[in-house]
Structure 1
Amino acid sequence: MTCYLASIITDEKYRGKGYGRLMVDHVKKLAKARGCKAIILDSGMPRKAAHAFYEKYGFEKSCYGFELFLG
């Protein structure tokens, strides 16, 4: 079973203060308690600082996402 983290965004004025780590730590604890073996999340391509945070936390890049806008 896998936990999907739909959204995690820290307001710019609170970044670098450990709140993101606290949130992901909490999700990790909940996921483990429910028997999940992994946490998956999506992040937009321009969010380079967020990607650095995820990688520092221990997440690994695992796929590319694609969109096709209609109209």
Structure 2
Amino acid sequence: MTSQIHIREARRDDVAAIAAMFAQDTLGGHGDSADPADLYLYLAAFDRIAVSPNDRLFVALIDNEVVGTFQTTLITSLTGRGATSLTLEAVHTRHDRRGEGIGAVMVRHAIEMGRANGVRLVQLMSNAARQDAHRFYEGLGFSRSHYGFKMKMP
């Protein structure tokens, strides 16, 4: 790690940098774009996240430059006697900054946030093709526990 990593909630002016990181992802298959003509889509999503009481979007910064992002969602369920879980989503480190410990700092921040909110567990899903990511999460204490299923909507 070469510099201090700072985590803060994302701001609207971070959205273009976040979208650019997602657009570099060739494994995810999400169809993200860094095209300025598509920025309004990301800004609309940011606005929905910003007003949600259970969702938070974060960025990791080095020298005030966005180098990573992740989103958290608190979910309360009747299972587990009404326990709350924290779902960690869209953990992404900028391609040219991988291997600097940024991902670990982001995930640990989310775990501590969950602990502060009294969650019973922190959970995430990872694309089956991301074997390096699976080793990364296991190294941070996560274990494989469930199969995930998805249905793409037309």
2:126 matched residue in structure 1: 43
Residue in 2 aligned with 1:6?
Answer: 89
Q: Greater share of strand residues, 1 or 2?
A: 2
Q: CA RMSD in A?
A: 1.5
- 5+ residue gaps, structure 2, are 1-83
Q: CA deviation at 1:63?
A: 0.9
TM-score normalized with structure 2 length: 0.43
* TM-score, normalised by the number of residues in structure 1: 0.88
Give the letter for the 1:64 counterpart. Answer: Y
Quote the Cα distance in structure 2 between the aligned partners of 1:33 and 1:67.
Answer: 30
> How many residues are paired up?
71
The question of whether the paired residues in 2 share the 8 Å contact of 1:7 and 1:41 is answered with no
Contact kept? 1:3, 1:36, Cα under 8 Å: yes
Post-superposition shift, 1:14? 1.1
1:29 aligns to what? 112
1:44-59 correspondence to structure 2 within 5 Å: 44-59=127-142
Partners of 1:3 and 1:45 in 2: CA distance: 21
Q: Which amino acid aligns with 1:45?
A: A
Report the secondary structure of 1:23's partner residue: helix
Shift of 1:10: 1.1
Q: Give the letter aligned to residue 3 of structure 1.
A: L
Larger radius of gyration: 2
Runs ≥4 residues deviating over 2 A: 66-71
Distance in 2 between residues matched to 1:68 and 1:59, nearest whole Å: 25
Whether the aligned pair in 2 keeps the contact of 1:6 and 1:41 (CA below 8 Å) is yes
